[in-house]
A and B are shown apart, each in its own frame.
Chain A
């Protein structure tokens, strides 16, 4: 890292990110083009009269060559013009803004709960390494981590939503901000696995850090045990967990399709599934931009945070 300031490092990463976004968007366009059937075929559905499909195709402008349509879409991109949905004619930006709301609310709430809980669990387990508490936390997190989201969701809905009736089983028709109760079960499902994986990482990092030379040195200098643990050991222990938090954030912001489908949360994942089934290319493209940008940005932030927490650690561009 010699001679590389944080700012120039960030700028270089941002430029690289831009290239990555463009590459993703191009790839997605041609992959969707390669799927069998186009928007006209998907819309015609079980009434696939070739004459009608040709008319729909013409009405959607799909009779123009694919590179031409891609180029036209690309020209609008710098002005943040994502084009219009082929099927409904509404601007793609509208779909994105409608889907981002629920996805971001869910992602932010998950992270707000996830980080403190998993750090706390990890640190507790590490400080009492080998104790009954440590072993209990380990068993529970390993068990929980092995349950897939959809299975946990189905069981939670059956028990708390339908059988006991304590919580709404789905978020159907609800506004997630005015009826926060609909978010409880989805949050539990989204938290279950990340809490396990991140707390395991924090625990491992903390155990390593507490056994390290610098902690021993700090103790020799007579620094208080609390300060040693939380000011010296913890930041170093968090560094590996930050990468995992970044991956989780990326996963959450991509719209967790299974969770959205089971709980009827109209987020980005639902928009994506609908758009791909309809072959609504402009909408898929818009989502590809959003997903690519979030992935690049989240990873950049994670690297920067990791760099601040443990400046001695290697940061690979």
Chain B
């Protein structure tokens, strides 16, 4: 065995030499866009779960494929604000209850034009009471019977209440426009930059360039999505030249290959918030002092350095750093003495708190462990409890008082509406305050931009002071690609330019 081990060590040092030798020529990505070629992109998949119905999209690979084949009316820009896509423009009436959407001229892959009827039919399908599409809750405020087709390129939505952030709903995850009456998605037809060629569930999807795409034909001839569930397999496939793009790599992989010449690392900052969620409706975190003590115990730079291997930024207990409406409040820092004082004041000295976590998202268990360590010597003991990963989010929504949390990018309004209102469906911190609900109501029902900004700022000020989310960091989204691949955007995951291939080229 010792022979084997020596051989292995020899090999790793060999790799290190190669890596060092590769320095200097690292950023040789071709800078002039070229047309042609097939790009193979490796994503994690779901085997049995994978579908091509864009309304059912749930996994990253499904979102990326849907984006390639279909369009939404709007999508999220780099600052996670809604940008017009199939909608050329939107105009609300004075009280924000009726929205007139003008469509741009676009065609589906089978040559039929995209019409207002298709838009209404797509939304009606998502809102079907007997089904459970992901975009349903975002579109639920549309009053469908009172919405109408004005002409082929104009649709008017009636809303159940005034809502100034309606374009966010048009950009919701899975709110794609499909041809009227489409139910069979074995050979999907969309209006996107790539059209469908073939699908082998759990293995690959092949798409080809749509020369008629309204935003200009893609540079690539073909785009193939292949499935590799293990991160190490995606990395190896990229290093071995079997794919040109590997989605969702770990910070450790990024660190070891950042200076090599065999792959280029692309980082999208502010992609995933990393947090701990305290439930404010039950002991011990119904005590505001104890919540503040936890805020002060977190050594954020250390968490970012150790858990995210430096591939991220510290958080300030607020969602959506760098996004539209984000309030830049003074950065909170570790203050052990004040935390100790607050713990004593709350009468929580000697208290043992269970911190629920799981491997449902990368880094959560590590973060919990590091945080438990940071709390040592404060008087409060944090005990890490690892739960089942497949039911983790549903479990922690109901049970426990402190849990690991992460979330991808979404507009700040969506985050508030889904998680921080009395009636929110996924209110994991159990934050339910009539005055906060009223602030949100004010923000979304006013057409006065200054008043809206002020309302968002006030909501975030309250959350920063005494909310239930300890948001300690923002992880970069990491993608690896062959050095000859150009045009990869670093917009946050979940936004329009993330995992978007119509602007990508092979040099």
Contacts and interface: CB of A to CB of B under 8 A. Distances in A.
Decide if A and B are genuine partners. Answer: yes
Interface string B454-477: 000000000000000000000000
A51 B232 CA distance: 37
A46 B360 contact: yes
Given A37-B388, A277-B390, A55 B202 contact: no
Given A36-B388, A87-B49, A275-B48, A170 B233 contact: yes
B237 A169 contact: yes
Contacts of B200: 98
B203 A266 contact: yes
A262 B397 contact: no
Contacts of A35: 388, 390
A276 B157 CA distance: 42
Given A37-B388, A41-B394, A172 B227 contact: yes
A91 to B, nearest CB: 11
B131 A55 contact: yes
Interface string A93-109: 01100100000000000
Nearest to A40: B132
B4 to A, nearest CB: 7
Nearest to A49: B425
A146 B1 contact: yes
B236 A36 contact: no
Given A59-B131, A88-B201, A274-B46, A264 B230 contact: yes
A52 B425 contact: yes
Interface string A24-50: 000000000001110001111111111
Contacts of A235: none
Interface string B121-142: 0000000001110101100000
Nearest to B405: A46
Interface string A55-99: 110110000000000000000000000000101111000110010
A157 B8 CA distance: 12
Contacts of A88: 48-51, 201
Contacts of B201: 88, 90, 94-95, 98
A159 interface: yes
Interface in B359-389: 360-361, 387-388
Interface residues of B, number: 59
Nearest to A271: B47
Interface in A147-193: 147, 154-155, 157-159, 161-163, 165, 168-170, 172-174
Contacts of A146: 1
Interface string B386-429: 01101101110100000000110000000000100000011000
Contacts of A279: 390
A44 B390 CA distance: 10
Contacts of A59: 130-132
Contacts of A43: 49, 58
Nearest to A53: B394
Contacts of A206: none
Contacts, number: 176
Interface in B37-76: 40, 42, 45-51, 58
Contacts of A42: 390-391
A89 to B, nearest CB: 8
B229 interface: yes
Contacts of B391: 36-37, 41-42
Contact of A280 (B4, B45, B48): B48
Contacts of B4: 143, 147
A263 interface: yes
B393 A47 contact: yes
Nearest to A165: B240
Interface residues of A, number: 61
Given A41-B394, A162-B236, A170 B228 contact: yes
Given A36-B390, A41-B390, A274 B202 contact: yes
Given A48-B426, A98-B202, A163 B397 contact: no
Given A36-B391, A163-B15, A271-B48, A47 B134 contact: yes
Contacts of B145: none
A278 B425 CA distance: 22
B14 interface: yes
B239 A162 contact: yes
A115 interface: no
A49 B137 contact: yes
A147 B407 CA distance: 39
Interface in B182-220: 200-204
B224 interface: yes
Contacts of B137: 49, 52
Interface string B238-274: 0111110000000000000000000000000000000
A110 interface: no
Contact of A162 (B47, B204, B226, B240): B240
Contacts of B407: 46
A47 B394 CA distance: 8
Contact of A173 (B1, B230, B242): B242
A46 B18 CA distance: 40
Given A36-B391, A90-B201, A170 B236 contact: yes
Closest 3 CB pairs of A and B: A37-B391, A49-B425, A274-B47
Interface of B: 1, 4, 8, 11, 14-15, 18, 40, 42, 45-51, 58, 130-132, 134, 136-137, 200-204, 224, 226-230, 232-234, 236-237, 239-243, 360-361, 387-388, 390-391, 393-395, 397, 406-407, 418, 425-426
Interface of A: 35-37, 41-53, 55-56, 58-59, 85, 87-90, 94-95, 98, 143, 146-147, 154-155, 157-159, 161-163, 165, 168-170, 172-174, 261-264, 266, 270-271, 273-275, 277-280, 283
5 contacts: A44-B394, A87-B49, A155-B11, A172-B233, A280-B49
